[in-house]
Amino acid sequence: MSGASRKEDGIRRMLDFPHPVVPADLVPRATERGIRRRRRRRSARRALWALLVVAVIVFAVWAWVTEPWYTPPSGTTPPLEGF
């Protein structure tokens, strides 16, 4: 017996049994669950985008106030030699 015929026999045996009864309200429940899941994902995505925007704004304000790209002035002047 080859592998293909073994698979066919297994599928035929599965199809010979009676199919399970499907609840009558399966479609509305599944639709409602899908709508809830989509709403949650959408709200989570919006919250993450809002958090990202706030983080960028906070970083921009911090950089504008502290100006980290400038070196601070030295506290002492270098000694003058050779004058």
**Over 60: is that where the pLDDT of 54 sits?**
yes
Alpha carbon distances (Å) from 79 to 7, 64, 76, 82 = 91, 34, 9, 10
pLDDT by residue (tens digit) across 19-41?
888 899 999 999 999 999 999 99
Instruction: Work out the mean pLDDT of the chain and round it to a whole number.
Output: 89
**Over 60: is that where the pLDDT of 1 sits?**
no
pLDDT by residue (tens digit) across 60-69?
999 999 888 8
Given this model, what pLDDT does residue 83 score? 62
